Structure 1
Amino acid sequence: MKKLLPYLMIAAGASLWGIIAFFVKGLADYGFTSMEIVAIRVIYAAIFLLFIGIIHYRKQMILYRFTDIRFFIGTGIFSVVFFNFCYFTTISQMNISIAVILLYTAPAFVTILSFIFLKESLNMNKLIAVIGTIIGCILIAGVSAGDSNLTFIGVITGLGSGLGYALYTIFSKFALKKYQPFTITLYTFIVAAIFLLPITQLWQKVDLLLNSNVLLYSIGLGFIPTVLAYFIYTWGLQKTEGSKAAVIATVEPVVATLLGVMLYGEKLGLIQIAGAILILCSVIIVNVSFQKKNVTSVSQKLS
């Protein structure tokens, strides 16, 4: 059981990510825009992380140099804010299952961006995975373009969410050279919150934010599929290989799909299912490639 527990925790963390649409749709029903929902998520997550940091990670709350904030501008604004905005917009435009599958184009973006900026090699497995991801997206968005559940904006923002999610890995690679994962996560959400608060001007909706249902959705969004999911996933990740964890994490789109079917009556066509399976297979191929590489490396950090 002890050997299985890390894998179960990874699956549990990924499953919590998979239910994020429940909170997003709940807040959208009260009239909040995608950007406002992003702001709500990062603000509550930052508050929770500050409390956790004060209690358990005080030493990791220290920045060595103020100029290092540039790392967290990358992870906080160019990744988290951009990724969440695109992802929440996609959820509002299309089926939850399609939104999360398009998000899972992230490994293909990571492969390409790592080759360009981190000078990582491109092997046959990675190339096959990238091509598979592209074909999967074409099957989902192109061949079935007549599907009323698909929109041009939804497809573009869906791919944008994959790109934004991938950027977190790229920026984190640089930040991890100096800081621990908790430090990166904390300042990522703090920077994102500081950036979004004046843009969204959420204080103008304070009465609505204090509505009991909105408050529950907001706290739930900031804690359950964000802070709690991160800690559960990270705990499991510390006790197993990053490549295995990434493959196990593909349970997220399964959970999201089940959520869409059971709560919102969503359906997928055969072509869309084929595209989804192709993208998920590509994710697994990428991570198998990383696993082989890790046999000869000292360690690999997963963001």
Structure 2
Amino acid sequence: MFGSKSAVVWLIIAALAWAATGISWKYFSMLGFSFIVIFLVSRLFKFLAVYFISYYRVKSHEPIKNLREFMFIFLNAVFSVGTPLFFFLALQETSVSNAYFLQYTMPAWVLIFAIIFLGEKIGAKKIFGFLLTMLGICLIASPWKLLESGQMNLGLLFGLLSGFSHTGDIITSRELKDYSYHTVSFYTNMMQFLIAAVVTPLFFKMSFAGTDPVDLLAFALIGVFLGIASDLYYHALQKLEASTAAIISFSELIFAAVLAFLLFGEKPMGNELIGYALILIAGAIIVLRRADIGRFEHLIRITTSSKA
């Protein structure tokens, strides 16, 4: 479809689209729109975008082979709903940059899972990357403020839960490696919408009051952009090393921080900036390490699967 240089450009465009849609959640929530309305409309149109793109590219999808793989697709969809849900809740309690960087502690949790369950060997570089992640979290969390106030930092909690859910998304995607990307994306996006339509109304009040057609169009465009961005990402992987693509995708964090500053005037404190830098460095160390287990490359390939 395009060369490696063009793949880098398309991947950066995808990261910018992800950051812009993430910022839009903060913007619309500040205007009083409920999570469920934004999520349901955007997920519906994301699924439609994925459907039409995949139909154009592959025409048909592989059938789900057995109950085990159906369960992994279902779990992947659950985690893919949980990740933006916790991210949205984090945005209600903390800054955009904090929510993003806490979600991107995900490489450390994937590493821990790989060590415990997949036989990844422990090494000095991996331990160092994990410790840097923990230090970055502490600096963002400002534990001295917790001691002063005596209250739980909900922004930290929801941000980390978003990262944990993102990890579950990646691990379950690894079990679906024998399917094509378009097949997994089609099934999981369909299930994401169905799960959200059934479950989220139980926890969130659904109200379209004050929502006009222009607002609904904006939510629909968010979903379409997410569908297009994920397609660009996976096609860029055909021309780039997975580790290179994962590092480039971290640019989403930078775009989000810049947009948050320009649109909302968010200025991270010194300790938060150091925490962000440590998480970025730790993510690079973990992603670029030499993996000891077979097919671990697939885990790197889907570090942005919650957006796919």
Instruction: After superposition, give the CA deviation of every residue in 1:108-161 in whole Å (9 maximum; x if it has no partner).
Output: 11111122232322322221111100000001103463799x971111000111
Residue aligning to 2:45: 44
Instruction: Report the CA distance between 1:101 and its aligned residue.
Output: 0.7
Check 1:200–1:162 CA distance in 2 against 1; reply closer, same or farther (3 A cut): closer
Residue aligning to 2:21: 20
Moved more, 55-64 or 179-188: 55-64
> Could you say what secondary structure the match of 1:256 adopts?
helix
The size of the alignment, in residue pairs, is 295
Instruction: Report the CA distance between 1:205 and its aligned residue.
Output: 4.2
Check 1:131–1:204 CA distance in 2 against 1; reply closer, same or farther (3 A cut): closer
Instruction: Determine what percentage of the aligned residue pairs are the same residue.
Output: 23
Q: Distance in 1 between matches of 2:63 and 2:28?
A: 34
Residue aligning to 2:297: 300
Instruction: After superposition, give the CA deviation of every residue in 1:39-92 in whole Å (9 maximum; x if it has no partner).
Output: 333222112222223333233253334653211111101x11111101111122
Equivalent positions of 1:83-94 (< 5 A) are 83-94=83-94
Residue 279 (structure 2) pairs with residue 279 (structure 1)? yes
Contact 1:28 1:34 (C-alpha < 8 Å) held by counterparts: yes
Residue aligning to 1:129: 129
* CA RMSD, Structure 1 to Structure 2 (Å): 2.8
Residue aligning to 2:213: 212
Q: Which runs of 5+ in 2 are unaligned?
A: 303-308
Residue aligning to 2:306: none
Q: Distance in 2 between matches of 1:221 and 1:43?
A: 10
Instruction: Give the TM-score taking structure 2 as reference length.
Output: 0.86
Contact 1:23 1:217 (C-alpha < 8 Å) held by counterparts: no
Q: Distance in 1 between matches of 2:62 and 2:194?
A: 17
Moved more, 190-199 or 137-146: 137-146
Contact 1:106 1:165 (C-alpha < 8 Å) held by counterparts: yes
Check 1:134–1:299 CA distance in 2 against 1; reply closer, same or farther (3 A cut): closer
Equivalent positions of 1:1-303 (< 5 A) are 2-60=3-61, 62-65=63-66, 68-77=69-78, 79-143=79-143, 145=145, 152-176=153-177, 178-201=178-201, 205=207, 211-224=212-225, 226-289=226-289, 292-293=290-291, 300-301=297-298, 302-303=301-302
Contact 1:23 1:218 (C-alpha < 8 Å) held by counterparts: no
> Could you say what secondary structure the match of 1:21 adopts?
helix
Q: Amino acid of the residue matched to residue 189 of structure 1? A: N
Check 1:59–1:90 CA distance in 2 against 1; reply closer, same or farther (3 A cut): same
